[in-house]
Amino acid sequence: MNDTADSAILKSTPNPFDSRYRLSLGWWNFYFLIKLLLAWRGVIGLHPWTNLAFILLLAAPIPSRTARILRSVVSIPLGVILLYYDSWLPPVKRVIAQASSLSQFRFAYLLELVERFVHVEMIAMLVVIWILYALISRYLKLGVILTAALFSLAVLHKFDRGESPATPENMAQQSDGQGGAHSGVSDLNYQVNSFFSNESTRQVSFDPVATGSQPFDIVFIHICSLSWSDLKAMGLDTHPLWQTLDVLYTRFNTASTYSGPAAIRLLRAPCGQLPHTGLYSATTDQCYLMGSLQQAGFSPNLLLNHDGHFENFLKTIETQKLGITPMKLEGLRPYETAFDDSFVYDDKDALTQWIQKRSNDPAKHVALYYNTISLHDGNHLVNDNTRASMKSYGTRLHQLLDDISQFMVAVKNSGRNTVVVVIPEHGAAIQGDKYQVAGLREIPTPSITLVPVGIKIIGPKINRADNQRIVSTPSSYLALSQLVANLIKSSPFDNSSYRADDLVRDLPVTKYVAQNADVTMVRDNGQYYLRQDPESGWVPYDAENN
């Protein structure tokens, strides 16, 4: 073969060092730069190895022009999928499962949700970064720099959400008051499994009401979308209602972030905490709250300030051994329009109607389960359709707290002995955090599941003899059931006075474990840890405002 032929062959063979095949990502540099900055701020949980593989796909030498065009077309949806995978957004299967619920939302509410993800600060940040990128990309080989940065992160396991577990060195050293020795994160799966195994053996029983004991009612006010974090954000953690309660739980964990699961957990309060997957299976009769109270001598009542149709909420609670239909609200004007365009009625009006109907009920003891969605995300006041639901939340919250306070006054004026239990389902996520935007409750963070729970003893001839009792130990539904059991066993209404300290005898402590579908949050030695699904590793949850 002559020199001319050899030269022709060499010219036709792609040179790996040719400028076309150097690590040049083009506008994809901007994509990876944004990702690194978002990961640095903790807004997403970057998977370095997966992103490195994507870079290799984008930069690999491909002689064929057709193949390069095909790669460009395929890379765009892959980039979107990878960004979603790196984000803290719910798994795709969870989004699909919620699709039917989303279809029921008002269009205005859907727009409000979109605005929470895309806001002015984010757009401004993207513009600034694009300008900086356009300036520095002329002088620096960003593709090489970004690849080196991702490789370094992969080696150091930085920002890695699920490909490697956190290390014991990342764990906080302070105690959370739950006892137990410091343990590594690799032990968290065992701890969670042991927690549920132990919870399956715990139960609180209600004694029958003693013959000759003074009659009294128990009213459970179950509130959608209220947590300690929400109260503090609105400046209403000092509302007079909280000071008037006899017992106030400050570390009560609802364990769930949505209404259906939260309602099931309350209506199964006499037994230990179930994993999320166990909520929709039948359980023993002793675990049903209303059924157990009925066995103890209380006639069950059911009241909602909404129609209960969304996500079959009414059907869900009716399967918890209530055995009754909700009391009909008559002649009331709607107070709010809900996120799905259904009506929501004023809490004071609804509860006042119950008081009126209760006066005609011959039952000596009644247990009322009242559910209110006045604070639900997406609701708006009937006379104010202009404000987004987040902006009206403070107004609606203040009104609800006032309504409950006025209900307690009305109960006292009725002359009927009553125990009022104020217990939220979960928080509203008013502030949000770096893991999820305001209003999103897919991750069961402590700012959503730690709620104010309080009890008030009301009677015309009874007074509290000591100060309000604050329960600051980690608590959940068993601690509430035990307090109710204490009330039934030794009724405060049989004397002229009672002590709050006597109400909280032998309250069980419950370690913090919260779940939403496959997502689990646990507290260990003062640090919260998050697991996105059973196959993922645990990572420290260090969002602000906790």
Look at residue 6 and tell me if it is in a domain.
no
**CB-facing half-sphere around the CA of 33: CA atoms within 13 A:** 23
If asked whether residues 160 and 212 sit together in one domain, one would say: no
Give the CATH number, domain containing residue 346. Answer: 3.40.720.10
If asked whether residues 94 and 149 sit together in one domain, one would say: yes
If asked whether residues 309 and 416 sit together in one domain, one would say: yes
If asked whether residues 148 and 274 sit together in one domain, one would say: no
User: Taking the C-alpha atoms of 428, 432, 438 and 439 in order, what is their torsion angle to the nearest 10 degrees?
Assistant: -30
Give the predicted TM-score (pTM) of the model: 0.82
Q: What are phi and psi of 530, to 5 degrees?
A: -120, 135
Q: CA 419, CA 367: separation in Å to the nearest integer?
A: 9
Cβ 421 vs Cβ 448: under 8 Å:
no
Last residue of a domain, one of 164, 187, 222: 164
Residues in the chain: 546
SS (H, E, C) 175-194: CCCCCCCCCCHHHHHHHHHH
If asked whether residues 504 and 366 sit together in one domain, one would say: yes
Question: Which residue's entry shows tokens 């003891």?
Answer: 365
If asked whether residues 220 and 117 sit together in one domain, one would say: no
Question: Which residue's entry shows tokens 């010219």?
Answer: 11
pLDDT per residue rounded down to tens, the chain (546 residues): 455 544 444 444 444 444 444 456 778 888 888 888 888 777 787 888 889 889 888 888 888 889 888 988 999 999 999 998 888 777 777 777 666 666 666 667 767 777 777 767 777 777 887 887 777 777 777 778 888 888 887 777 644 444 443 333 333 333 344 443 346 556 899 999 999 999 999 999 999 999 999 999 999 999 999 999 999 999 999 999 999 999 999 999 999 999 999 999 999 999 999 999 999 999 999 999 999 999 999 999 999 999 999 889 999 999 998 888 999 999 999 999 988 889 999 999 999 999 999 999 999 999 999 999 999 998 989 987 666 788 899 999 999 999 999 999 999 999 999 999 999 999 999 988 888 888 889 999 999 999 999 999 999 999 999 999 999 999 999 999 999 999 999 999 999 999 999 999 999 999 999 999 889 999 999 999 999 888 778 888 886 544
* DSSP helix, strand, coil percent of the chain (3-state; round to 5): 45, 15, 40
Look at residue 544 and tell me if it is in a domain.
no
Six-digit token string for 479: 């601690």
Look at residue 435 and tell me if it is in a domain.
yes
Look at residue 528 and tell me if it is in a domain.
no
If asked whether residues 206 and 156 sit together in one domain, one would say: no
Look at residue 384 and tell me if it is in a domain.
yes
Q: Position 390: which residue type?
A: M
Residue 387's contacts (CB-CB under 8 Å, 6 or more residues apart) are 380, 381
If asked whether residues 223 and 331 sit together in one domain, one would say: yes
Q: CA 476, CA 478: separation in Å to the nearest integer?
A: 6
Look at residue 539 and tell me if it is in a domain.
no
Structural domain of 471 = 202-510
If asked whether residues 134 and 227 sit together in one domain, one would say: no
Identify which of 541, 461, 452, 467 has the alpha carbon closest to the alpha carbon of residue 504: 467
Look at residue 3 and tell me if it is in a domain.
no
Domain count, the chain: 2
Six-digit token string for 274: 């179930």
Cβ 426 vs Cβ 225: under 8 Å:
yes
If asked whether residues 123 and 217 sit together in one domain, one would say: no
The neighbour count for residue 64, using CB atoms within 10 Å, is 9
Cβ 500 vs Cβ 467: under 8 Å:
yes
If asked whether residues 152 and 212 sit together in one domain, one would say: no
Residue 7's contacts (CB-CB under 8 Å, 6 or more residues apart) are none
Look at residue 397 and tell me if it is in a domain.
yes
Question: Which residue's entry shows tokens 């003062």?
Answer: 526
If asked whether residues 134 and 73 sit together in one domain, one would say: yes
